[in-house]
Amino acid sequence: MDVKRAQDIYKSKETIAVHLDGEPVWIEHVDVDNGMATVQVGSRPTNTHTIAVDRLEEQAR
């Protein structure tokens, strides 16, 4: 995924399925300048990771 798409998903009012290494994630923040995103893995708010946005995969509807 590119940074622009990650930012679009983050700002969207719709729920858009995104995965990291096969696990569902919620995008919590996108650092456009550095190409990074902070994501919550699964449903545990304490399970967050900051990763390169190119590791994120948008799931087909």
Q: pLDDT, tens digit, for every residue of 9-54?
A: 999 999 999 999 999 999 999 999 999 999 999 888 889 999 999 9
Residues 6+ apart with CB under 8 A from 21: 55
Phi then psi dihedrals of residue 9, to 5 deg? -65, -45
Q: Positive or negative CA dihedral for 4, 58, 10, 55?
A: negative
How far apart CA 14 and CA 6 sit, in angstroms, is 13
- Residue 54 confidence (pLDDT): 97
Biggest CA pair distance of the chain: 29
Q: What is the pTM of this model?
A: 0.88
Q: What is the pLDDT of residue 61?
A: 66
| Phi, psi (deg, nearest 5) at residue 49 | -140, 145
